[in-house]
Amino acid sequence: MTDEIRLPEVVLTDEEHQECQEFVRSIVKSDDGEWAVKEEFADAMLRSMIAVCLMGRAERLLAEAGGDQISSMLHIPHFGDGSLESNRVEQACITAAKACAIFPLSIHFYDFGCLLLQVGKLGEAKVAFAQFLSSTEFDTSDPVRQIWLKQRDTVSAVEYCKAILMATA
């Protein structure tokens, strides 16, 4: 028997919903409207695609706010100079939180922590980084989660988180 993870209800804005639908359609090719994944993985796959889309949106909002996107190769944050536009920063944080709630993949918490760190929310970033570190082991046993983690350098992310947490302890 496995423990069920209860996720909070998340309400997407119309714009977020449209962007996620377009993202899913860009990945799933089907002429007859059927999913191309096994039924037991369908919900997790849909949630994971929506979360990836939302995390990308959060990174884009951060860039629009005047920040720097998280590096697409290593996902190590790069910090811009100058002030950030507060409305876009708030939207980015809310969107990243939604991604983590919809599909709590460990690397999403890392990305959220990097975003929070860049906008000056050190305490919240440390919480996100701690969540990332504590959930990496769980993710290695789930086939859907492995699909997404294979795209990322989680070893470097773990090292970066540990360094941040030690330096700010």
| pLDDT per residue as tens digits for the range 49-106 | 899 999 999 999 998 998 876 654 455 555 555 688 899 999 999 999 999 999 999 9
pLDDT at residue 10 in the model: 86
DSSP 103: S
DSSP per-residue codes, 6-74: PPPP----HHHHHHHHHHHHHH---SSS--SS-HHHHHHHHHHHHHHHHHHHHHHHHHHTT--PPPTTT
Mean per-residue pLDDT for 5-21? 82
pLDDT at 36 over 70: no
Interior angle at CA 148, CA 144 and CA 153, nearest 5: 140
Question: Running DSSP on this structure, what letter comes out for residue 165?
Answer: H
| Integer angstrom CA distances of residue 54 from 18, 73, 156 | 11, 18, 23
Residues counted in the chain: 169
Confidence (pTM):
0.78
Complete domains list, the chain, with CATH: 14-73+83-167 (1.25.40)
